[in-house]
Structure 1
Amino acid sequence: MDNKPLILVIEDDKAIRNFISAALRTQGYKYIETENGEKGLTLIMSHNPDIIILDLGLPDMDGLRIIEKVRLWSNTPIIVVSARGQEREKVEALDLGADDYITKPFGISELLARLRVSLRHIYRHGSEQKACMSEFVLGDLKIDFEKRIVSLRNEEIHLTPIEYKILTLLSRHAGKVLTHNFILKEVWGSTIGNEAQSLRVFMASLRRKIEKEPAQPRYILTEVGVGYRMVDE
């Protein structure tokens, strides 16, 4: 039985598509590819890929529309690969449901690293369905979800309820960029008012408690203008 993950590449630039496909083939991944959005949607429904690599600038439809359509019925990880490097477009893609965003030009080692993160999410989610995730461990940081205890180097640290909610939200999506709006909605239930400033304040406080050097964080990284990401390894 072949358990290798299947990756769908939706990219209209033939040179880039061949570049990605060659890298996937070298790494032993199974893959299918197409140059347009409509065919991509058909392949998603017919082949149920494990991961989708998606270009936004397709000839027949905007890649953002594909993200919207897929998220109506599937949680398949979507890695956007696009020449659109503006923060606004990154935020829009991530808010619509993309899992990651790589700006062209990019190195193949970066793409493969993002793929490995997405695959870990898939395997982690599968195990969580069998047994709910009870703890998160990353380096010296440990979160015991059942006891609601956060410890660093085996010493318990005190977090406020909001700090705990932010930390657990990031940890449950480790490796994935969470936009400011997503965090605000999940933690405060709203993106209206002073919550955006509150998020920055609570994040600074949280980092002072868990990071050895808050200005050079080890655990929670800032995606400038977009949001935050808990490292995954």
Structure 2
Amino acid sequence: MHLTSREKFPPAGGDRQASLLVLGPAATSEKVLESLELAGYQVAGAGTRAGALVLLAAQRFDLLIIDTLMPDAHELAGYQRLADGSAPVLFLTESTSLDGLCPWLSLGVADYVLKPLRMPEILARVQVLLHDRGAGRPERAPRHAGLILGDLVLNDATCQVWRGPRELSLSPTEYRLLRCLLLHSGQVLSKEQISRNVWGEDGARTENTIESLISRLRRKVDREAPPLIHTRKGFGYWLGPGEGVGSQ
């Protein structure tokens, strides 16, 4: 397998950003890499043993994620431990491969996620391993991958939303509205645009319905934090940090 486009050094980041290396076949690593990037981690990836050794020799990583289908997976994990002395390993594996992982797991330096892979579980395991090691969490997303703006996190995998440490209880319609605003953050959306995005082409709603929905969502999202949902009178609504121009 040829080296992937991510077989290069990850960019320098803030002190709180953890650096992760994902090793495995492209079918697995691409999805994992993209989700980790969305969660705010620095990531690099390799699909071959040679590419992995280049990265491991050149940089210290906070966590190594290895698909056990990759040749010499255990050898690479051992190389990382010898080179760094402390970085844990997360294995992505079939249940039939667990026996081979037992020596690693018993040492308390590794964990595993069973296939078929679920990204929320991978992200949760990553956080636990980094926390145990003392590495910082990603700057942008303290939970699972999804849409993020400052301390507002929307997780499409579980349909959950947080504003800082507070989980928001949203109705399905409120969730769709917030997702629409997040996808177009910084952009003023008219009531017609919002109606199409939230209810579809055949589900147009009155202006009063949209105003009422915006008001309910604003009370939940901005209740205990600086406002993110703003009104541009005569034009529509937008989501982002800063002063709103009027409100409804």
Question: Taking structure 2 as the reference length, what is the TM-score of the superposition?
Answer: 0.44
Higher helix share: 1
